[in-house]
Structure 1
Amino acid sequence: MSRNFFPAILLLAAAMSAAACGEAPAPTDPTNFVILVADDMGWEDASPYGHPFIRTPNLQRLADHGMRFDYAFVTTSSCSPSRASILTGKYPHQTGAEQLHWPLPEDQTTFVDLLREAGYWTASAGKWHLGDAAVARFDLVIQGGGERTTEEASENELMPGGGYASGAGAWVDALKQRPEGRPFLAWLSSFDPHRPYQEGILDTPHALEDVVVPAYLPDTPEVRKDLALYYDEIARLDHYVGSVLDELDRQQVAENTFVLFISDNGAPFPRAKTTVYDSGVRTPWIVRFPTGVKAGSTTASLVSTVDLAPTLLDLAGIESPFSFEGESIVPILNDPSAVVRDHIFAERNWHDFDDRVRAVRDSRYKYIRNFYTDIPNGPPADAIRGDTFQKMRALRDEGSLTPHQHIVFDTPRPEEELYLVADDPQELYDVSQDSAHAEALERLRGVLGAWQEATGDTSPAARTPDEYDRETGDALPNRTFQRMPPGKENTLENPENALE
């Protein structure tokens, strides 16, 4: 991990001194940071990653002027735990917020804290989902979508499900509130493309024939319509990405601003969100940084969202604390062929339903360890209520699902799974019982075990009860948004921001 002992505040002081003397800004001006976070967007569901029909011209613009990471991963496919992991530079089980809706504890150190201490102005706008204690880490927090006015909103924003429903309506407003003369961090998070979906949010919605149905989902009109509505929300999100890029240009700070687009987890469909398959934990990761990244470049190097915290501090010239588990990816920004890690790790904990899964992946294989084999590998409650899963229930009852599609209902689950992801990117063929892959199985089993020991990943004292019905997605009597770790007083923020 890179260690740099020149805080951004010293660089800022030098720049301000030069400006006072009428000099041009120094090349060591502090880097600004804009982190754009999608909510439940699959890694390949955008034109920069080859999707032929989803309309994402602004994400394409970002990639054309920056670097596209083809093998980037979140540490967990679960909304609030993923965000807590990103901010703290730790794996979810180390944060005290590994279960859905558990707030980020006050005693956790985040990159936001360290940037702010170094003189950065810090803002968050959009989806929050981090708990009340985290609010004080930012100079400005605008939770939700912000206000819409006819004077400031575009026609698209004023459509049903516009800026407010997207969670992105206040992104540009937050940037406009930054003080002059200070470097800034803007954490801009959307609700898109999280369920539930609404028709009519675009003038020209995606058609059923635009849909690319993955092999693990049945190709039916119901599934295609569900995916088309998901595409619409991605297109709406893309609109707001463009607004942010335009605002950075307007403020003349784009050249020295590191812009990153990621998702907190995979698409909200069966065998994707909440799983540790690539469909659940692989994320789009696009960086635009004109002074530090070659335009139109791509990299096949493995990166994890646990690497973001040390990367931002590295670029800001701030020493990373030893609590950060990740590695700075600055070497990759400088050279797309550089390697900073050989493995990525992912975990699944409680998210609407009880579960405990761990995974390790390298450039060729994915190894999965299922600790609770008595429960199916189903999706979260919002996806269960969706049209795709309900159609799959009907097809299951008719005996019409393929084995790849039926996996979300199968019990018992295998204790171990192994996939040759280099040849089987959708992880359809488990080779854990194939002797030809015995060496990889044994090797990755050891890598995962060593990681668990090194990061203090131990089994919980007791399993956590489900809070939804696994067939209908209906809330059970014990359901509450007021979730906290056992023995902790609840301090969760407004329930309306606590999406599943």
Structure 2
Amino acid sequence: MERINLVYIHCHDVGRYISPFGYKMDTPCLQQLAESGMLFRNMHCAAPSCSPSRAAMLTGMYAHCSGMYGLVNRGFELEKKECHLAPWLSCNDYKTILAGTQHVVKDRDGIPYDIILEEKKGEKVLNSQRLVCQGMEALDSLNGESFFLDIGFGDTHRPYRDGTAQYNPAYIYPPEPLPDTRQVREDMAGFMAEAKIFDNAVGSIINGLDSRGLLQNTLILCTTDHGIAFPAMKCNLNKFGTGVFCIMSLPGKIMKGSASDALLSQIDLFPTICELLELPQPPWLQGTSFIPLLKGNNEQIRDELFAEITYHCNYEPQRMVRTPNYLYIRRYTSRNKVYCADCDEGLSKQMWMENGWQDRSVDKEQLYDLMFDPQEAKNQVNNPEYESVLVDMRERLDCWQHETSDFLYTGKECKFITNTPEGNIYVSKDTDCNTSDLWLIQEQPKGYA
């Protein structure tokens, strides 16, 4: 019997802002892909920061368990490389191919894919269509072997191009946490222009597989790392940070034109892929297969999920637990202000900075009622009506941290790279402004948090 191939299509910073979620986005190819398979409307990443999110998904382990505490471009790297999906598939006789972005190891050959394609020509990153051509050419070079194509795109990462010529800001709806101003709408137009480029690449991949007679026997997984790069979204443990789009398509195996509302984590993808490809599951997996959902069963696979952030540009350790009805977030920092450098530069951030964003306080504990507060805006920690819920959510988080040996719970030392040349962990108001300023600090002293 012919084995199922796997194509993993991924992008930066898209959250759920694509047309299948009802947003007025110019993403017809993603809409087509969703209608050919299943859309997961309540999927969350395990860490709303680029490298930890990808590491968690591709190892099936929480970021602190795989040793991925922060960004590759800030000096971190996946420690448990042997737990990555690619070598596991190689061990099971799949030809593995890397095209485009990877973002979990410093050196491009740090994960042993069988074929590693160049992401750049000189210093310039190849455009999306060229990356697709590379990937398709690599498939053409195979001799009938089953394959895993990992193809990643960086277009939707800031900085954005000017999108106002394509999309009139007068008719754009802003991201939910932000005010409806022209500045925000112009910013969103830039995102929409980048999302269109990604969508075109998705369409080219689908067409390339179809023209090669591979579409009917290929599992397509298309997702993103975390929420969009706007204030109060990316790098946050609310739904705007952890909520991601996820589409899976496989003719005859996944119900066509369907959607699931089940609460899911991206660490559930590895075990699900193994089951779909009829492969054994490695012993390190911490997620749960959601195969029953693919047949249209409307059931809950899990009654809770967890996510974390330790380091993005700043050391800002936080943990959260989410259930179908509640969200609880715990911060492990004595600084109760916003860490602004963890938000990429853009028009929306500029507007918030000009209006005192740095001076706003952030609660150490947060509890949200997801039924009556779906925007996750009203903290109920100090509301006596939610006392029993708060106790339950605290216990759930404590239990998970204990079971996974989270260093924040056990007191174990965690490697980090400091924010400043002087070795400071927490930056001042004057220095905690621009992401790019912190990124310029390449060689930094290392220590322990």
- Fold agreement, TM-score > 0.5: yes
**Corresponding residue for residue 29 of structure 2:** 58
Q: Which amino acid aligns with 1:138?
A: Y
Structure 1 residue aligned with 2:79: 105
- SS of the counterpart of 1:446? helix
Partners in 1 of 2:232 and 2:204 — Cα distance? 33
Q: Given that residues 145 and 170 in structure 1 are in contact (C-alpha distance below 8 angstroms), is that contact kept between their aligned partners in structure 2?
A: no
How far apart in 2 are the matches of 1:339 and 1:437?
A: 24
**Is 1:394 paired with 2:394?**
no
Unpaired segments of 5 or more residues in structure 1?
1-25, 148-160, 397-405, 488-500
Deviations, residues 148-191 of structure 1 (Å, cap 9, x unaligned): xxxxxxxxxxxxx9x8355x631242133121321111111110
- Which residue does 2:145 correspond to in 1? 182
Q: Unpaired runs of 5+ in structure 2? A: 421-426
Quote how far apart the aligned CAs of 1:394 are: 1.6
Instruction: Kindly name which structure, 1 or 2, has the bigger radius of gyration based on alpha carbons.
Output: 1
Alignment partner, residue 293 of structure 1: 254
Is 239-248 or 174-183 further displaced after alignment? 174-183
Query: Which deviates more from structure 2 when the two are superposed, residues 297-306 or residues 335-344?
Result: 335-344
Q: Which consecutive segments of 4 or more residues in structure 1 shift more than 4 A? A: 379-382, 482-487
Letter aligned with residue 13 of structure 2: D
SS at match of 1:355: strand
The aligned residue for residue 385 of structure 2 is 436
Following TM superposition, by how much is the alpha carbon of 1:127 offset from its aligned partner in structure 2, in angstroms? 1.2
1:263 maps onto 2:229 in alignment: no
Offset, 1:430: 1.1
Aligned to 2:372: 423
Structure 1 residue 477: deviation in Å? 9.5
Residue 479 of structure 1: aligned partner: 441
Displacement of 1:289 in angstroms is: 1.0
> Alignment partner for residue 9 of structure 2, among 5, 11, 36?
36
Match of 2:102 in 1: 128
Distance 2:273 2:202 in 1: 20
Q: 1:138 aligns with which of 73, 91, 113?
A: 113
Q: CA deviation at 1:268?
A: 0.6
Deviation at 1:474, TM superposition (A): 4.9
Contact residue 378 and residue 409 of structure 1 kept, 8 A: no
Shift of 1:299: 0.7
Q: Which residue of 1 aligns with 2:43?
A: 72
Pairing 1:470–2:432 present = yes
Aligned equivalents of 1:96 and 1:256: distance in 2? 34
CA contact (8 A) 2:235 2:342 kept: no
Moved more, 458-467 or 363-372: 458-467
Name the SS of the counterpart of 1:260 in structure 2. strand
SS in 1 for 2:325: coil
Q: Which has the higher strand share?
A: 2
For the pair 1:242 / 2:164, whether they are aligned, the reply is no
- What are the superposed Cα offsets for residues 300-339 of structure 1, whole Å, 9 maximum, x if unpaired? 1111111111111112222112211011121211234133
Task: Choose which of 141, 159, 162 in structure 2 pairs with 1:196.
Answer: 159
Partner amino acid for 2:119?
G
> How does 1:141-160 map onto structure 2 within 5 Å?
141-144=116-119
Partner of 2:294: 333
Q: Distance in 1 between matches of 2:359 and 2:82?
A: 37
Return closer, same or farther for 1:86/1:267 CA change in 2, 3 Å cut-off.
Answer: same
Offset at residue 58 of structure 1 (A): 0.3
State the Cα deviation string for residues 443-499 of structure 1 (Å, max 9, x = none).
Answer: 11111110001111022647753358322445259811x689759xxxxxxxxxxxx
Structure 2 CA distance for aligned equivalents of residues 483 and 208 of structure 1:
41
**What CA RMSD, in Å, does the superposition of the two structures yield over aligned residues?**
2.5
1:471 partner amino acid: C
Between 1:173-182 and 1:274-283, the stretch displaced more is 173-182
Percent identity at matched positions? 28
Looking at structure 2, the residues matched to 238 and 229 of structure 1 have their Cα atoms a distance apart, in angstroms, of 14
1:210-262: per-residue Cα shift (whole Å, max 9, x none)? 32123422322222111110111011100000000001101111111111111
